[in-house]
């Protein structure tokens, strides 16, 4: 067993498919839930989306594919984790307290291929998480991550409207191929996530955690 197989099993087992897998509060503070079946479908949709991105970037099966997330604990984070499990990709959790030069340093030194960014207000700043990312890019520069590879969790609005696509827009673009999507066999020895430390004793460090370790946890 591995995480990908667990997602498929739980989302297909008639005994539990309708049970709540995630419960969360939406932007209007309403309590919502996502069932195991819904999580499987979202993971497949996100996996198909990531497969399309890998193809666009010329990244083949077995090659490293770093999917960055700069966001809070929102459902899209878990959908992307499921999508990574179905495409042998690695979810990179950038420390969401970073700003400016330190944020640019983390993004540039982790070989980020795509970056998904929260739309909400970032604590301690005067803007959103997306504002922080774009400011870091404008002032300090990203070495390889282009604007076409940065995506917002929802419609970003403001000065970035029309430039930064949303996850939902990309999902719609790849929806026509979803029926033919087949998850890649998951390599348990490959990094499932890279988590940045808090940086209390120096610059934050990216810690690799394998898919096998995630499954055991």
Quick one: CA torsion of 79, 95, 70, 149, rounded to 10 degrees? -110
Query: What pTM was estimated for this model as a whole?
Result: 0.91
Compute the distance between CA of residue 45 and CA of residue 42 in angstroms, rounded to an integer: 5
Query: What domain count does the chain have?
Result: 1
pLDDT value of position 111:
84
Tokens representing residue 53 in the block: 């991105």
pLDDT value of position 162:
59
Instruction: State the residue range of the domain holding 47.
Output: 3-216
Compute the distance between CA of residue 162 and CA of residue 97 in angstroms, rounded to an integer: 26
Which CATH number goes with the domain that contains 148?
3.40.50.12780
pLDDT value of position 147:
85
pLDDT value of position 213:
95
Low-confidence ranges of the chain (pLDDT < 50): none
pLDDT value of position 199:
67
pLDDT value of position 158:
55
Tokens representing residue 129 in the block: 């998480």
Compute the distance between CA of residue 102 and CA of residue 186 in angstroms, rounded to an integer: 33
List, in order, residues 6 or more apart from 10 with CB less than 8 Å away: 16, 17, 21, 36, 39, 40
């Amino acid at each position: 067993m591995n995480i990908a197989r667990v997602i498929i099993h739980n989302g297909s087992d008639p005994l539990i498919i309708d049970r709540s897998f995630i419960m969360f509060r939406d932007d209007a503070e309403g309590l919502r839930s996502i069932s195991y079946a819904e999580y499987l479908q979202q993971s497949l949709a996100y996996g198909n989306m990531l497969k399309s991105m890998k193809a666009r970037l010329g990244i083949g099966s077995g090659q490293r594919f770093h999917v960055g997330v700069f966001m809070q604990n929102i459902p899209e984070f878990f959908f992307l984790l499921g999508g990574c499990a179905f495409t042998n990709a690695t979810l990179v959790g950038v420390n969401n307290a970073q700003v400016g030069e330190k944020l640019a340093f983390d993004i540039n030194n982790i070989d980020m291929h795509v970056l998904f960014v929260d739309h909400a207000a970032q604590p301690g700043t005067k803007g959103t998480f997306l504002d922080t990312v774009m400011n870091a890019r404008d002032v300090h520069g990203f070495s390889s991550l282009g604007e076409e590879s940065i995506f917002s969790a929802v419609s970003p609005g403001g000065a970035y409207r029309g430039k930064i696509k949303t996850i939902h827009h990309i999902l719609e673009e790849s929806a026509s191929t979803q029926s033919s999507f087949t998850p890649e066999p998951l390599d348990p020895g490959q990094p499932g996530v890279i988590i940045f430390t808090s940086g209390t004793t120096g610059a934050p460090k990216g810690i690799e955690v394998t898919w096998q370790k995630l499954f055991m946890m």
